[in-house]
């Protein structure tokens, strides 16, 4: 868990712990499901696994910096917000769709998967963006402490 790869993996783990829990609460509440501990834990676990797997497989963390580089943004609030929006929309989308697939496909079919996804996506994506804006700095701070890697210092050295 050292270096840039470790940094990215720790950020992915921390953010998906937070996103999985908070977004599960949002989705369950919006669907009118009672927030019983076993239901919340099951929804959190599914959300965490979906978000972590797709965060590890697809290099979404590089999309924001790439866009910012094209916009000539190399730091500051604009850089942070662009990254947060991209990460939030991405994770909100895959977690929402993944949960609809897991929960609806076996019993209700594809129409319920797509219908549930379309109905929940705006609220879930917006919630994810807000959560990323609030918690990304914390995840990065934890990742820096664990991995020993500082992306800001590495960017300064590269210039």
Instruction: Give the model confidence (pLDDT) of 67-100 as tens digits.
Output: 988 998 887 899 899 999 999 999 999 999 998 9
Mind giving me the DSSP string for 24-42? Answer: HHHHHHHTT----HHHHHH
Start-end of H helices in the chain = 3-30, 37-57, 63-70, 76-108, 110-147, 151-158
In which band, very low, low, confident or very high, does the pLDDT at 147 lie, cut at 50, 70 and 90? confident
Q: How confident is the model at residue 148 (pLDDT cuts 50, 70, 90)?
A: confident
Mean pLDDT (the chain, rounded): 89
Q: Write the CA distances from 36 to 104, 120, 121, integer angstroms.
A: 19, 20, 23
Domain spans, the chain: 3-154
The predicted model scores a pTM of 0.85
Cα torsion at 43, 45, 49, 50 (round to 10°)?
0
């Amino acid at each position: 868990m050292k270096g840039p790869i470790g940094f990215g993996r720790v950020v992915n783990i921390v953010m998906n712990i937070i996103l999985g829990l908070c977004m599960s609460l949002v989705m369950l509440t919006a669907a009118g499901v009672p927030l019983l501990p076993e239901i919340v834990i099951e929804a959190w676990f599914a959300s965490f696994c979906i978000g972590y797997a797709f965060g590890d497989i697809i290099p979404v963390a590089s999309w924001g910096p790439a866009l910012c580089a094209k916009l000539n943004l190399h730091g500051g609030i604009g850089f942070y917000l662009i990254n947060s929006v991209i990460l939030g929309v991405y994770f909100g989308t895959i977690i929402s769709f993944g949960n609809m697939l897991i929960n609806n496909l076996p019993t209700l079919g594809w129409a319920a998967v797509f219908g549930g996804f379309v109905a929940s996506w705006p609220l879930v994506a917006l919630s994810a963006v807000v959560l990323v804006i609030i918690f990304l700095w914390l995840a990065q701070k934890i990742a820096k402490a664990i991995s020993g890697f500082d992306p800001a210092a590495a960017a300064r050295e590269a210039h």
